[in-house]
Structure formats: C-alpha cells, structure tokens
Amino acid sequence: MPYHLPIIMPQLGESIAEATIVNILYQDGMQAETDCSLMEVETNKAVMEVTAQCSGKVKGLIAQVGQSYPVGAVLGYIEVAEAEAKRLGIQQEEPPSPSTAKNPISAAVNVPNAPKKVLPTIKGLPVPAHAGGASYLSPRMKARMSELGLHAADLAGIAGSGAAGRVTIEDLERFLTDLERSQMTTASSMRVAVADAMRRSWTRPLATVVLPVNMDLLLAHRKKQVSKPGPALYALRALALALSENSVAGGRLVGERIVHPRSIDIGFAVEAEDGVLVPVIRNADQYRLKDLVERYNRLVNLARQRKLPAQETGGSIATVTNYGVFGLTLATPIPLPEQTLLLGIGAGQIKPRWNAETREWLPETISAFTLSFDHRVIDGGAAGRLLQRIEQLLLEPEKI
C-alpha cells in the first residue's frame, strides 16, 4: 500500500507568517526526487522554494497559483514507495481521505527530522507565536495598495481578521467600502509631503533624551539686544557650535559607514499653512548670533508665505523646533529622514530653586530641552553629552 507524505508550507523566515504560490513546477502524477523544487512561493522578503523531502510521485495537489497559505499548511502530498517509507520511518499507511486533502491544516505524519505539525493559534490558522501580524503584506495586498496609492501606515486602523491579527485583502476591501460612507476631504500637498517624510523617518530606531535648562541668563541677555533673537535662534547657534566640536553626532549611517557632515547647516521648523517648513541656515557655526538674526527672521517670513527658495531649504544635518510657543512643556519630535538629530525647546516655567547660601527659595525659569536622535548613529550617552554641551553654551549666551 502506498504511503503519503504531506508537502508542508515551511517556515521561510523568522517573521514570515504565510507565502503566496507563484509557480508550481510539479503537477499531479509527476515523479519528484529528493530536494527538488516542487513550487516557488513569494513572501514579503523574496521568492523562495518548497522542496521535496523525499523521492516519490506528486499526488493530491492542493496548492493553487496566486493563493496565499500559512506556515504549516498542507500544499499537497508525495506518494512514497514502501521501501522509501520504511527508510524514512513513515508511520501513516492510509492515503489521505478526501476531507483531509481539502483541509490545509491536516495532520502531519511522523517523519524523523521533518517539520513538526504547526498548531493553530488564532482562528484555526497555524502561525508561529512570533509572527509579525499586520506588518506582513502579501503580494496581492501590496498590488492592491499600490493601485490605490496606500501605505502600510494607512492600514493601522483596520482590525485584521487574519492570522495574529494580520489584515487580509477582504479586511481592506471592507474598510474601503465603509470609508465611502464617511465625509472625506483631499489632503493638501503639504500634508501629504509631511506624512511621507514622517513615514520614512519612522523606519529608524528613534529615541529622545530630556534636560531641564535654566533660561534666566539667556532671557536677560536677550533683553539687552536690539534685534531681540528668539530662544530658537539661541538654541540653533548653540547646537551648531556643539556639532562643530564633534561632528559625528550629526553624521548619517549609510550601510556600515558614518558619513560626517561637510558643513554645519542647521534647519529650524516654521509652522506654515497645513504643515511645517524647515528653512536652513548654512554654516551656522561660522556666524555670531547677532549676525544671524536678520537672516533668521527673513527665512521665517518666507516660510510662512511658502515662498522659500530652493537654496534655503534641504540638506541640513539637524533641526531645531520651539514647540514651547504652543504652550507645550515636553514633546518628542521626529527628525527628518535625512537627519540624525532634532533639538526641541519646551515652554519656560517658573520653578523654585533652593539657595543653600541664603537658605531661601528663589524662582528660576526652566525649559525642558529634548534631543531626538537616530539610535543607530549615537547612543543615549552621546546624546546626553551633546545636550549638556548645548546647556553649557546657553548658560553663557554672550559667547554665542
């Protein structure tokens, strides 16, 4: 009596939950040899092969081109000769029943060193506990999303019904149908550009460190100036000086190399209609604070009018943002995709400080400075030291 060994969708990668059949190389009745490629499957990473564990005739093929199957699903069977079955130690002696053949989660036979039966974990689908869930996009999903101009982030609000909460093509179509019943407006080109930049930024491991900074000396220095530079410009100048002393923190990781900046070009965030623009001050480390005020103010006005010339934007190595103007005391802003650093300034708050010499509480203006950074380029220690150096410079405003 012939023995039947199931052809199982293998675990093709640590985070792979399923794969799509793209080509079947052996049809029913064809003789296959050990380790030959029976079919080609596509994951979200690459096109890979499902191979035969032993020689035999392909029987009861279940897999269909264009369909996706979870890891552990039975794709068909190999009819094994009795001698080969004894050599492999196959215990099953009965051919699969019609009902079993139709079930992609049928029982696997006992074969030494063969993949163990994958037990279902969610809604009957056999998916490893570490599967990435909704982060996986099947080729069919990718094609449909490309057709609609959608991104993976657009699916964040969809409740997936697939394995480990994975969003299926049916979930997507139901979501789109439901959207048609809602009020919708077209996003501005500015909003779409900002969204695209943030999506690309978020592909990196980002972190933020925070340091409270005494602003009293800075504010006193500002009062004496005719041009009245704002806190963001003080911070920009301090960041530029700190990076000129050690440019590694402003570099970018490309492959296995850190690309150091050729010049200290610092951007600053300006709120414009339905978005944010980032004008850039080139070589900010080479000019005194008083020499930057007029240029800074001019760029702010141009940004608000959305009339920034091309040479005054892009190519900066870091950005300064003063979210304190909105009354925010703490935030974790995201660096632009081409940058490693973003320095944020929180709103100043009057807080008491104990003076040990006079034994009294004295008021001081404290602002929380945040430094968000690409954790691949620098670690928390380096980020903390950079932020402390910025604080030191701000405590001596006459030197910047």
Digit-coded pLDDT (tens) for 62-107: 999 989 898 889 999 998 887 777 776 665 544 455 444 444 433 3
Length of the chain: 400
For the residues of 72-123, what is the DSSP string, one character each?
T-EEEEEEE-HHHHHHHT----SPPPHHHHH-TTPPPP--TTSPPPPPP-BT
In a domain, 271, yes or no: yes
Q: Is residue 89 part of a domain?
A: yes
Q: Identify whether residues 241 and 354 lie together within a single domain.
A: yes
Q: Tell me how far apart the alpha carbons of residues 278 and 300 are, in angstroms, rounded to a whole number.
A: 9
The amino acid present at 327, given as its one-letter code, is G
Residue 78: which of 50, 118, 103 has the closest Cα? Answer: 50
Residues 236 and 179 in one domain: no
Question: DSSP class of residue 58?
Answer: E
Q: Are residues 315 and 377 in the same domain?
A: yes
- 121 domain residue, yes or no: no
Q: Which two tokens stand for residue 52?
A: 């035969």
Phi/psi of residue 261, nearest 5 degrees: -70, 140
Same domain, 86 and 213: no
Q: Is residue 55 part of a domain?
A: yes
> What does the pLDDT read at residue 100?
47
In a domain? residue 277: yes
Residue 132 to residues 17, 122, 136, 257, 332: CA-CA distances in angstroms? 7, 13, 6, 29, 26
pLDDT at 158: 80
CATH code for position 146: 4.10.320
Q: What is the pLDDT of residues 292-333, one digit of tens each?
A: 999 999 999 999 988 888 889 989 999 999 999 999 999 999
pLDDT at res. 324: 97
- Asked if residue 383 and residue 298 are part of one domain, the reply reads yes
Strand ordering across the sheet containing 31-32: 3-8, 74-80, 56-59, 31-32
Count: domains in the chain: 3
Domain assignment present for residue 117? The answer is no
Q: Confirm whether 72 is domain-assigned.
A: yes
Same domain, 252 and 173: no
Predicted local confidence at residue 34, as pLDDT: 87
Same domain flag for 96 and 213: no
Same domain, residue pair 141 and 286: no
The C-alpha torsion from 378 through 248 and 252 to 269, rounded to 10°, is 90
Q: Which residues of the chain have pLDDT under 50?
A: 93-95, 98-134
Residues 166 and 80 in one domain: no
Q: What is the pTM of this model?
A: 0.63
What is the C-alpha to C-alpha distance for residues 105 and 8, in angstroms, rounded to an integer? 9
Parent domain of 158: 133-184
- What whole-number distance in Å separates Cα of residue 366 and Cα of residue 348? 5
Residue pair 32/12 in contact (Cβ under 8 Å)? The answer is: no
What single letter denotes the amino acid at residue 123?
K
Q: Would you say 343 and 369 are in contact if contact means Cβ atoms under 8 Å apart?
A: yes
